[in-house]
Chain A
Amino acid sequence: MFKIILNRILIAIPVLLIVITVTFFFIRMAPGGPFDTEKVLPPEITKNLNKYYNLDKPVFLQYTDYLKNLTHGDFGPSFRHSNRTVSEMIFTGLPITFELGVYAILIAICIGIFAGLLAALSPNSMQDYIPMSFAMTGICMPSFLLGPVLVLIFGIWFDLLPVSGWNTLPGDKILPSITLGATYAAYVARLTRGGMLEVMYQDFIRTARAKGLPEAMVVMRHALRGGLLPVVSFLGPAIAGLLAGSFVVETIFQVPGLGRFYIKAAFDRDYTMILGTTIFYSALIIFFNLFSDILTSWLDPRLREH
């Protein structure tokens, strides 16, 4: 087990290095630089700007300089936001994106597992069809549609919840969390249903029933552990996806999270910020995949032996 983890961590290093290298050169290959604006600058001003940000050096030298700074944990200053460093911006946005992600994933787990269980316990009945149709709708409905619809209903028609913001008005965290969580809840529901259905017909369940255990006990104690396996292996990448993919919800609801910085940086050609966030997200994804692998092997003894 320990060996597996160590192995995975060692593989992560070259993976990160490749990500850095590819991103570094690709963003510089994209047409348009960080200081291109509609009003063209006199050439001497452009020259000074490039000098200030080391863009006048050969690209390879810029690359080695960047790696050198990176080993000290220095992501450099943002090209666009002159009074902030990239690390500062990542750590302002991250807690917010993280909080939003936690709420969303809790919603996804609670609603998803519950709906999946309901459906799996009496398959092909109304108790199955109703939650599963909701789940299907949830999967199909993109957050840029669900968000504004929720805002319209709860924010504007009924005037119950704020339409935007984060931690400014009471209740402003509810709509973004639900919007972000909904799609994942739908996936979790379908995965739970599938997993549970498979497990419910296995021999050990029959044994449990034969022992005379009440149905609820059979489900909670015996079936759930096996039935949730697909959900757990889905959750690792899902959490990473939630963190990296929350920018749509952040934009719709004016949530000052990391996702908005990331997208904005790409459009602005804010080289250091793009690199910083990309490296950060890559590390996050690697970590969560590892985490879900460990969790899966803990839940499933068969995997542990290999």
Chain B
Amino acid sequence: MQKADRFCSIHKLPVFFILILSLIFASCGGESKNNVTEGIKDQILHMGNGTEPQGLDPHVVTGVQEFNIIVALLEGLVAEDPKTLEPIPGAAESWTVSDDLKTYVFKMRKGAKWSNGDPVTAQDFVYSWKRLISPGLAAEYAYQLFYLKNAEKYYKGEIEDFNEVGVKAVDDSTLEVELNYPVPFFLSLLSHHSLFPVHRATIEKFGDIDSRVSKWTLPGNFVGNGPFVLKTWELNKIITVEKNPLYWNADIVRLNGIHFYPTDNEQTEERMFRSGQLHLTSTVPIDKIEVYNEKSPELIRTYPYLGTYYYMFNTLRKPFDDPKVRRALAMSIDRRQIVERITKGGQMPAYAFTPPNTMGYTPEAAIPFDIEGAKKLLAEAGYPEGKGLPECELLYNTLDAHRKIAVAIQQMWKNSVNVNITLVNQDWKVFLDSQRTQNFLISRASWIGDYPDPNTFLDMWVTDGGNNHTGWSNKEYDSLIAKAAQTIGQKKRYEYFQRAEKILTEEVPILPIYTYTKISLIRPEVKGWYPNVLDHHPYQYVYLEK
């Protein structure tokens, strides 16, 4: 009986199970720490950074989240002014430009060091740029250097000798760069991560000049010349960097470190922000924008971003081979409603392709919002009241935000000009394949500028341009873009661009919808985080203060 008593009451079992459960988590118990307040004390910035980076090799990676980390670890010849993005001295102390704008001579900064103590020299840049255009490395951004004399030939294997390429170390502290033709935005290109230097001895220790798969970017191996050094990297969890005492301008760096969190789920990121784990997010879920705007506007920040959300037409297929049909559709959507009712993030309706105020350039031409005019155009094209127009497909990549916009536009076309379209969505990679093979009639698209210059938007629509999936071609347009590329004075250049933009708004191979904004959640304690159109924030100038 005594033995049986031990099992006597089955109702005591809950105690037993609760005991087990608490044992499981015994190691986890304790007070929850708050990154935001701790971070302010220790000058450690905690930021959400989109997805897990592909890597940290400046010559191999392509995305924004990689750039956000690399810019802390490496510095190009020129850096960016945190407010205006104007080129300011970086690894180069100063530079001179020849009158024809084709030759640049950079004076390297005296005393600039790699994080292992080696001096940063002109040869480092020659080596790094050679690496970028080594065919074996297959760098996605190799074409960024094709402006250099003979660089493209070297990449294609037409010449073997790298000495013929337009970059030369005259001595340790002088770098001479020769271009094919004047490139007005060349200095801005230099702050792109693909043109950043890498440490030769480190690269060669872990592989060859053209090894894509290499361990040199791992913590402990990485040698950089930027304001921070790589400390830890846990896949899908966190990347941390700490202040680099050997950085030439270490005196102005106030942060002691940055923690980058790969946050591919924006809802999770928002929750992390709300619970005090992040100072700053990479984005804001659409459904939360209004809530923050109303309840805590001091935490949400919106500023223009150098990008355009648009639809493109396949101009090789009926009925969009007729510019009148394209223009009619472009004239009959109410962009203001889309940005005010759907996207709600302060986006601006776009009536031309290049975003307004791109380095002082604002398109003068505009696609009007004119339903009556659109009806007239459709009638002229042979489809009065939309009659006879076949039902067309609108393709977008699977994402709720795109679907909402597509549904709104579908309704607008139905109501205003009686044009019926059906919506089709595809997974991202399938969608890209459809675009590339021109297997669409109307397709959603977006373009984010690579550098602050109208050229990054307008040169993509030249005949057979790699990103021109519309099949559209216009000789006059091509020649205007070509002329602008050869022109030195900004005023004259912008005139060519204005004329090109006018052709674009008349022929409408693409239908601009809105200009992007960058929206993020940011603690008011984060200082020195200035709004700019590329969303670049050099961390040297960032600090945390109550």
Interface contact B213-A77, CB-CB below 8 Å? yes
CB distance from B301 to the nearest CB of A (A): 22
Cβ of A164 under 8 Å from chain B: yes
Given A41-B140, A114-B14, A170 and B4 touching (CB < 8 A)? no
Interface contact B235-A44, CB-CB below 8 Å? no
Cβ of B80 under 8 Å from chain A: no
Interface contact A264-B436, CB-CB below 8 Å? no
CB distance from A89 to the nearest CB of B (A): 7
Contact of B140 among A32, A37, A81, A254 (CB under 8 A): A37
Interface contact A31-B434, CB-CB below 8 Å? yes
A-B contact count (CB 8 A): 196
Cβ of A306 under 8 Å from chain B: no
Interface contact B429-A30, CB-CB below 8 Å? yes
Interface contact B20-A106, CB-CB below 8 Å? yes
Q: Which residues of B contact A216 (CB under 8 A)?
A: 4, 7-10
Q: Which residue of B lies closest to A171 (CB)?
A: B28
Cβ of B142 under 8 Å from chain A: yes
Given A40-B466, A41-B466, A162 and B277 touching (CB < 8 A)? yes
Interface contact A32-B432, CB-CB below 8 Å? yes
Cβ of A13 under 8 Å from chain B: no
Interface contact B236-A251, CB-CB below 8 Å? no
Cβ of A6 under 8 Å from chain B: no
Cβ of A59 under 8 Å from chain B: no
Interface contact B20-A110, CB-CB below 8 Å? yes
Contact of A171 among B7, B25, B433 (CB under 8 A): B25
Interface set, chain A 93-139, CB cutoff 8 A to B: 93, 103, 106-107, 110-111, 114, 117, 121
Interface set, chain B 400-456, CB cutoff 8 A to A: 427-434, 436, 445-447
Whole-angstrom CA separation of A39 from B466 in the bound complex: 8
Interface contact A82-B214, CB-CB below 8 Å? yes
CB distance from A201 to the nearest CB of B (A): 18
Cβ of B51 under 8 Å from chain A: yes
Q: Which residue of A lies closest to B9 (CB)?
A: A216
Interface contact B213-A164, CB-CB below 8 Å? no
Q: Which residues of A contact B142 (CB under 8 A)?
A: 45
Whole-angstrom CA separation of A45 from B51 in the bound complex: 25
Q: Which residues of B contact A244 (CB under 8 A)?
A: none
Cβ of B215 under 8 Å from chain A: yes
Interface contact A36-B51, CB-CB below 8 Å? no
Cβ of A33 under 8 Å from chain B: yes
Give me 16 A-to-B residue pairs in the complex whose CB atoms sit less than 8 angstroms apart, sorted by A's number: A31-B430, A31-B434, A37-B140, A81-B54, A82-B212, A83-B55, A103-B24, A117-B10, A148-B267, A156-B271, A169-B277, A170-B30, A170-B33, A215-B10, A256-B235, A257-B236
Taking A38-B447, A155-B271 as given, write out 6 further A-B residue pairs in contact, using a Cβ cutoff of 8 Å, ordered by the A residue number: A31-B430, A38-B432, A83-B214, A163-B272, A174-B28, A264-B52
